[in-house]
Amino acid sequence: MRLIRPAVILLICAALVFGGGVLTGRLRAQQSVSSPTPYYVITFVDLIPPNKDQGVALLKQYVDTTRKEPGNQTALALTQINRPNHLFLYEVWQNEDAFTKHESDAATRDFRTKIQPMLGAPFDQRAHSKLE
């Protein structure tokens, strides 16, 4: 299990450094001829320390719900080892359309409404594509 965690973190860091289409703040898809498939989305979540436990519970619920949605291939919530109130969501979607549908889903909107007062900073959501 300990070997999996560094490998996942390394993969995600590589995606952050080398990924295309990095967008900051509320995700706005760049208009192009076709969106990349699969569609990788990383969201940095900064919880205010007193809200950590309640925020982590919400993130776990969000991940469980997201994994069941059509078009979702992977959904993980990871925590920074030395700052447990700093987390990120790693999602892989079949394509951009599946992600867009997820973003407009009632469960996603409800999650964002509930977690908003617990945040120390706005979501930092970034879309990526795999290097070929």
List, for residues 16-70, the tens digit of each pLDDT value.
444 443 333 334 444 344 677 899 999 999 999 999 999 999 999 999 999 999 9
List C-alpha distances in Å: 111 to 4, 37, 130. 28, 25, 28
Task: Output the pLDDT for position 37.
Answer: 86
Q: Give the number of C-alpha atoms closer than 13 A to the C-alpha of residue 125, restricted to the C-beta side.
A: 13
Query: What is the model's pLDDT at position 26?
Result: 39
CB distance 76 to 90 below 8 Å = yes
- Output the six-digit token pair for 8: 């996942």
Domain range 4-128, its CATH number among 3.40.980.10, 3.30.1280.10, 3.40.50.1000, 3.30.70.100 = 3.30.70.100
- Determine the average pLDDT of the residues in 72-84: 97
CA distance 108 to 4: 28
- Give, as one character, the DSSP assignment of residue 33: S
Q: What is the pLDDT of residues 12-26, one digit of tens each?
A: 544 444 444 333 333
